[in-house]
A and B are shown apart, each in its own frame.
Chain A
Amino acid sequence: MKIEGSWKLAAPRETVFRQLMDPRFLARSLPGCEKLDPLPDGSYQATLKIGVGAMKGTYQGRVEIVDALPPESFRIKVEGKGAGGFVKGEGKISLTAENGETLLNYTGEAQVGGVIASVGQRMIQAAARQIVDQFFAAFSRTLLPSPASSTPSGGAGSPAS
């Protein structure tokens, strides 16, 4: 499954990059994040309670950030499993400075297995998008005191055109 999109964030690129690397901000932005502990190898161990609507499950997993090129880009690897199955994904996030603000583009591939894959194929794409959007919406709120200053580019959660 391919996931891609872009968000406009009302903060300079350096700030956005720094905060994306900071587990405290990540923990606050990750939907349903119950735990985000750094591991010795630089990755994080995470417990997330995520899903859509009534379909929510707890997933245990690892998040790892690699190939960081501050303040331009990094890659993120996510791996998790729970009662609903497993998720494995890798994505690239790149930041472009735009008049003191930041345009964030993300693109990635995710693989879903187990129950969610076999019963949820009609919704999985939309669910993934919704969860990613939740993350960025929450993250953009951590950037500045005023939440109104960040909006997704091109309407809620629309992909980069």
Chain B
Amino acid sequence: MSVKLLGERIKRKEDPRLIQGRGHYVDDLPLCNMLYLAFVRSPHAHAQIKSIQLEEARKMPGVGAIYTGKDLDGRLGLIPCAAGIEGLKIPDHPCLALGRVRYVGEPVAVVVANNRYQAADAAAKVEVDYNALPAVVDMDRAVAPSSPLVHESLGDNMAFVAKLEGGDWKAVEADASVKVLKQRLVNQRLAPLSMETRGVVASYSPGEDTLTVWSSTQIPHLLKTQLAVMTGTDEARVRVIAPEVGGAFGSKLNVYAEEGVACFVSRQFGQPVKWIESRRENLMATIHGRDQIDDLEIYYRPDGKVVGLKCRILADLGAYHQLLTPAIPTLTALMILGSYNIPAVFVETKGLFTNKMATDAYRGAGRPEATYIIERVMDLVALELKLDPVEIRLKNFPPPGKDIVLATGVSYDTDNYQKTLKKVLTLSSYKKLRREQARLRKKGKYLGIGLSTYVEICAMGPSSRMPAGGWESGTVRVEPTGKVTVLSGTSPHGQGEETSFAQIVAEELGVPYDDVTVYHGDTNQVPMGIGTFGSRTTAVGGTAIYLATQRIKRKMARLAAHKLGVKPGEMVFRDGKVEREDGSKSMKFAEVVGEAYFAKQLPSGVEPGLVENFVFEPPNYTYPFGAHVAVVEVDGETGEVSLRNYYAVDDCGRILNPMLVDGQIHGGLAQGIGQALWEEHVYDENGQLLTGTLMDCAVPKAHQLCWFETANTETRTPVNPLGVKGVGEAGTIGSTPAIVNAVIDALQPFGARHLDMPLKPEKVWRILKQGPAQAA
């Protein structure tokens, strides 16, 4: 093929409009007669609602209506949870609180007004009388029998207990050389914090009896089904559109109360209704991520071989389940062995209700926790045995290229962990770094070098293992003019698939890249879909498009062959032509398209037109892997950690566009580093959210980071014909442990073994203050 597109650094189709501020987000949508919503939210973590007084608020100018939980009871469905876990307790989750509030920020009432200012002013006049109740905040206490209960009717705070056990524990116990190391790791709560907050416009047209919803979402099709059910609308009359979405990181892979309420109100008034989340609401009432306590028992031999891992996970689920809340920690269990062949595993996961906002999918969703655990495990054992972190990893990697089933039951699609590790060691001049570290230590300067050799699970996923289908649909339509329209059931929101999907189709069809336009996010345009999450969009959605394109090619080859009097199998697509490999017989692409649409001489059995759909069902997940090296400097006086270098070698399978891969890795690294060093979303002992604004909630900023040196190895996956694995979460998953390992490494002269994240200067300073460790 003459124009090579796949594998090239093609600039993003999305960027000109986004950079110039010409994209359209939910809040940019002007509709006539729009009404605005403002929510009254609980200031209490746990309280009984004694009474709600609306008189004053109703008198405010521009107020159309005010609804409370009682008004919606029985008229608007509950917020759905799709996670399927045996024995899972699912408490009722109404869109507006009924009788009780269970977290700070829970919506209690909604004001409908002519503009957002009037709505806000009236909401401030709604008087709610609460009877405060003791809050469940701390997980260790939440499991105690004496704990107050988040949901009394459920009997305790335990939403589920799941166990995963595998391998030969008897052999571990029988081996007298095996030692045990115990460690507790805390994986703190985080706010996903997308640049664009959530927002929804719902517009019910009484004449047509249709409900159109614009929402800043990752899952327009799933949302359509859920909103139809919640509002009791015929699903064929519901249309969901995800316009430009300014980031999500998993937080918009959900169905939220405000979306349901907006639809309900629009149906009541027969007018469009808008709600745009404020940053404060975003921090308290959009799902949070992580929040686990992991108690580890590590079984290892003196040679560094880890032979068994036990982990008891306490997962803070918050007060109610959102769409996938309880499923997230179960991914931690699944991936807990990382890239190591540890022969025995035991994981017990307890999902707990607390009086906090729900946790759910946040970039990585359960896998960053798993990777953090196993990568800390490796360093803890290395420290115990005085081994280099490289050595311990090499000792525990499986041999490359052998299909193995891990003790967790997981079998990876491809692996060559030695290769990525070797590459990152070269890239970072690892040995030189170690020498520099030794030199600096003598001068009282503390350089830390941290490693992480992760594997993640993505391209979600085989439908048999997904809560609501893991397939994806792709449609390719060649228009009568020869331009190409691509429809994807995924819902990219910044990742750049308008570009990569166009690359796939243009290269396959041999047409100019600019002739291909990708659409997504409108349920009336895209026949079916699941959405964008779990690093699935290219591997599953891109594959669907690739396969739909093959169908188009087969049809066009048949049309051209028919016209040219050759065999369809001889046709190739290149340079805007459909022709024989040797060029002897050739038709212009547009001519073949004309054949399809004018339909004058179609071969028998061929339908007119050129539109093909493919729904791809992935046979397995994919398992990208990588090796990262972080280099940090610790200020010996203040404990402040600064990032000096970061090296990332990632294997995400075949690379369609290196620039997009870099972009995903860079952003992912920033988020993972943020968790290690700065970010934490904190509730106090009464369940009050303390990090309620960006004054305290520390998102990483460019100036706090360093230049990222990235590289790749490309091991194609056999799971899909494109050979791509997914890269959306890799950076986040790989980087957090690399940083923590680096800081602990820097603190070796002080005998540090572990510190919980974020590694705030004060924590590090307290280690420094203890003074140098006595040489053992």
Contacts and interface: CB of A to CB of B under 8 A. Distances in A.
Complex contact flag A–B (Cβ < 8 Å): yes
Interface of A: 81, 83, 85-86, 88, 111-115, 117-119, 121-122
B690 A113 contact: no
Contacts of A121: 690-691, 696
B686 A113 contact: yes
Nearest to A79: B132
Nearest to B125: A83
Nearest to A112: B688
B684 interface: yes
B695 interface: yes
Interface in B397-415: none
A118 B284 contact: yes
B43 A88 contact: no
B356 to A, nearest CB: 13
B690 A118 contact: yes
B256 to A, nearest CB: 20
Contacts of B132: 88
Interface in B656-694: 684, 686, 688-693
A119 B693 contact: yes
B641 to A, nearest CB: 21
B688 A113 contact: yes
Given A117-B684, A117-B688, A121-B690, A85 B695 contact: no
Given A83-B124, A114-B43, A119 B692 contact: yes
A83 B121 CA distance: 11
6 contacts: A88-B132, A112-B688, A113-B686, A118-B691, A119-B280, A119-B696
B307 interface: no
B44 interface: yes
Contact of A115 (B691, B692, B695, B696): B692
Instruction: Give the 4 A-B CB pairs with smallest separation, nearest first.
Output: A118-B692, A114-B43, A117-B688, A121-B690
Contact of B695 (A111, A112, A122): A122
Nearest to B41: A114
Q: How many of chain B's residues touch chain A, expressed as a range? A: 10 to 19
Contacts of A114: 43, 104, 688
Contact of A118 (B44, B124, B689): B689
B124 A113 contact: no
B124 A117 contact: no
Contacts of B283: 118
Contacts of B686: 111, 113
Identify which of B44, B283, B284, B690 gathers the most chain A CB atoms within 10 Å of its CB: B690
Contacts of B43: 81, 85-86, 113-115
A116 to B, nearest CB: 9
A83 B696 CA distance: 21
Contacts of A118: 104, 280, 283-284, 688-693
A117 B690 contact: yes
B320 to A, nearest CB: 20
A119 B688 contact: no
Contacts of A122: 695-696
Nearest to B689: A118
A111 B46 CA distance: 14
A119 B104 CA distance: 13
A29 B495 CA distance: 60
A3 B692 CA distance: 23
Given A113-B688, A115-B692, A118-B693, 17 more contacts: A81-B43, A83-B124, A85-B43, A113-B43, A113-B45, A113-B686, A114-B43, A115-B280, A117-B684, A117-B689, A117-B690, A118-B688, A118-B691, A119-B693, A119-B696, A121-B690, A122-B695
Contacts of A112: 688
A8 to B, nearest CB: 33
**Could you say which of B686, B688, B696 has the most chain A C-beta atoms within 10 Å of its C-beta?**
B688
A9 to B, nearest CB: 33
Contacts of B691: 118, 121
B44 A113 contact: yes
Nearest to B697: A118
Interface string B686-730: 101111110110000000000000000000000000000000000
Contacts of B124: 83
B254 to A, nearest CB: 22
Nearest to A81: B43
A88 to B, nearest CB: 7
